[in-house]
Structure 1
Amino acid sequence: MAKFIFKLQSVLNLRKQKEDSIKNELANATRKLEAEKRKLSELETMLEDTVREFNEKTKKTTVHELIEFNEYLSLLNSRIKTQKENVNNAAQYVDKVREELVKAVKERKILEKLRERQFEEFLLEQKKLEQKTNDEIVSYNYNENGSGD
């Protein structure tokens, strides 16, 4: 029996490699997004703690301390705003990579379906060849034995 050869196997292999690469990229992007979210959460906690601490000390606060507190709050709010942008950018990147992965999976599956169809056609053709060979053998044997005598 002949061996099945899928002519686009190298393309299929490349598509699988591309898909694996994108999966790794998505995993890295997701880890980065989670890290950015943690940083944001830490900054928000720092802000809450600072405000709570300041509210507890309000009665004993000097003007200089009020100015420092306002500057620190402004700094924290600025860092929080920047971190929210970082989180948003990381989330957008994760979405972009996820879309690339979906596309890569579709491309791979299309080739795999084609390979399956060609393999089924190959098997059918092999079965026809085998049947033809068997018919020829039977016909030859029939003719050799002298027309059924």
Structure 2
Amino acid sequence: DVEEIPTHGGSLRIYAKHKEDDTKLVTHNVTVLLGKENNKGMLSLAYYNNFQQKALQVKLDLISFLIEQKRAGRKIAAYGAAAKGNTLLNYCGIKKDLIDYVVDANPHKQGKCLPASHIPVVSESLLRTNRPDYIVILPWNLKKEITDQLSYVREWNGKFVIPVPKLEVIQ
């Protein structure tokens, strides 16, 4: 069986069985999902080549933006030290020369650095004292909740950067 769930902006919960197990049948949900995938062209190599191009565009846009802002002397932080954001940063080759620090609410992550990029993870309180010009929202699927939570950054004209699916700067 399969369920579509909202976690992480959309995920699949898949139920598997041993081939020999005749007590569980493939449900209608599987047929429906396979039909959706077929209708979107997911059975062709072209679909995945297009995905590769979209990922590359996200990378180029984010790197270009960060370099441009750093050249202008702007301070850049990020929010969220979770796996999806760290994967994006490492794919892009972004290190602490482009992002000064990452804010995370989890005290077990604070005082440590992100893997590979070595960007320090700090408490949210640093935002109020450091007042970055831009905050890159790494869990982009939670942009509404995070921008609401951090709305106080607008006091110093701080802006939010949403890197995926297309780079967006929010006042």
Tell me if both proteins adopt one fold, taking TM over 0.5 as the criterion: no
Q: Which has the higher strand share?
A: 2
Q: Which has the higher helix share?
A: 1
Which structure would you say has the larger Rg? 1
- Give the TM-score taking structure 1 as reference length: 0.25
